[in-house]
């Protein structure tokens, strides 16, 4: 019997309606694929109770919470105290996702930036990793992350990284991590794979961002945590590693960044 490499899906959304009717089965399929741990992300703080409940009900699930940048103008502005209070939960392991997204919601850039800085302060206080969503806002993202880091260090992962080489380098210069999603397995993502080839191997995580961005051969269908094994297999090829070696690498990286989950 072949032993599957152990993997962590460092970013998924198990509270989304896509999983409502079969969450236990989704988690079981993840386990069958070697995914022994996953972090489910709350994107609107008013939904924190239901995300927390998923983590409490399933031993393999941890959680993080923040206000997604695309929702920043629709939701009450998170407070630092509110985020720090959430961090008291034993399975709460990260701050976010937060960030900047000017692709569809550029009109709310100012409130997105204010929200991002509040989340950064919470990450600085708790020393839990900041979970960043970045799209079509590379210059502002690099500027704010750097300004804030100079004001006080904090850990961070650029989740589902698919931005420019310049933003990758800015994040790496600050000691941050970059996470590979199913996008890195798409045939037309050669430029993105080239960026990742130059990322220090001790700064790489892997994720699904499910229910979005399923890797081949599931592209266009609902993604789920089990498919992080597909993304990891493709990533291993990118780095000319075998899957077991890549899995061991990303497990060590996850434990180093998400120290609370590892403990």
Specify the DSSP element, H or E, that contains 54. Answer: helix 48-57
pLDDT at 172 over 70: yes
Length of the chain: 263
pLDDT at 167 over 90: yes
70 three-state secondary structure: helix
Domain boundaries, the chain: 7-262
Contact 204, 177 (CB under 8 A): yes
**Token pair in block for residue 112:** 């997105």
pLDDT at 263 over 90: no
Contact 86, 48 (CB under 8 A): yes
pLDDT at 2 over 80: no
Give the residue from 20, 64, 68 showing the smallest Cα distance to 44.
68
Task: List the CATH code of the domain at 7-262.
Answer: 3.20.20.140
The mean pLDDT value for 11-23 works out to: 96
User: CB-based burial of residue 260 (10 Å sphere; 0-12 exposed, 13-18 middle, 19+ buried)?
Assistant: middle
pLDDT at 17 over 90: yes
- Omega before residue 211 within 30° of 0, cis: yes
Q: Give the separation between CA 83 and CA 64, rounded to whole angstroms.
A: 10
Contact 92, 56 (CB under 8 A): no
Q: What is the pLDDT of residues 201-243, one digit of tens each?
A: 999 999 999 999 999 999 989 999 999 999 999 999 999 999 9
- Omega before residue 196 within 30° of 0, cis: no
Q: Which residues are annotated as a binding site for a divalent metal cation?
A: 11, 13, 97, 133, 159, 209
pLDDT computed for residue 103 by the predictor: 96
The mean pLDDT value for 83-100 works out to: 98
Q: Give the separation between CA 21 and CA 125, rounded to whole angstroms.
A: 37
Contact 229, 202 (CB under 8 A): no
Contact 28, 4 (CB under 8 A): no
What proportion of the chain, given as a percentage, has pLDDT over 90? 97
Q: Name the residue with tokens 């940048």.
A: 69
Q: Which residues are annotated as a binding site?
A: 11, 13, 97, 133, 159, 209
């Amino acid at each position: 019997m072949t032993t599957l490499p152990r993997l962590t899906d460092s970013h998924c959304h198990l509270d989304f309606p896509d999983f409502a009717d079969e969450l236990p089965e989704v988690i079981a399929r993840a386990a069958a694929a070697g995914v022994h741990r996953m972090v489910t992300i709350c994107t609107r703080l008013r939904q924190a109770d239901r995300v927390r409940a998923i983590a409490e009900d399933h031993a393999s699930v941890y959680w993080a919470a923040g206000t997604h940048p695309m929702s920043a103008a629709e939701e009450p502005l998170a407070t630092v105290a509110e985020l720090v209070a959430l961090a008291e939960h034993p399975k709460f392991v990260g701050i976010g996702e937060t960030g900047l997204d000017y692709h569809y919601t550029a009109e709310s850039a100012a409130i997105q930036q204010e929200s991002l800085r509040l989340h950064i302060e919470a990450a600085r206080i708790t020393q839990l990793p900041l979970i960043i969503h970045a799209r079509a806002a590379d210059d502002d993202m690099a500027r704010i992350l750097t300004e804030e880091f100079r004001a006080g260090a904090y850990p961070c992962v650029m989740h589902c990284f698919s931005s420019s080489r310049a933003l990758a380098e800015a994040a790496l210069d600050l000691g941050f991590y970059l996470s590979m999603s199913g996008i890195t397995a798409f045939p037309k993502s050669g430029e993105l794979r080239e960026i990742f080839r130059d990322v220090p191997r001790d700064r790489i995580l892997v994720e699904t961002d499910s229910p979005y961005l399923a890797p081949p051969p599931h592209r266009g269908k609902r993604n789920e945590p089990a498919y992080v094994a597909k993304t990891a297999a493709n990533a291993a090829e990118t780095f000319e590693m075998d899957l077991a070696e890549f899995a061991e690498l990303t497990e060590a990286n996850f434990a180093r960044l998400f120290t609370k989950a590892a403990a």
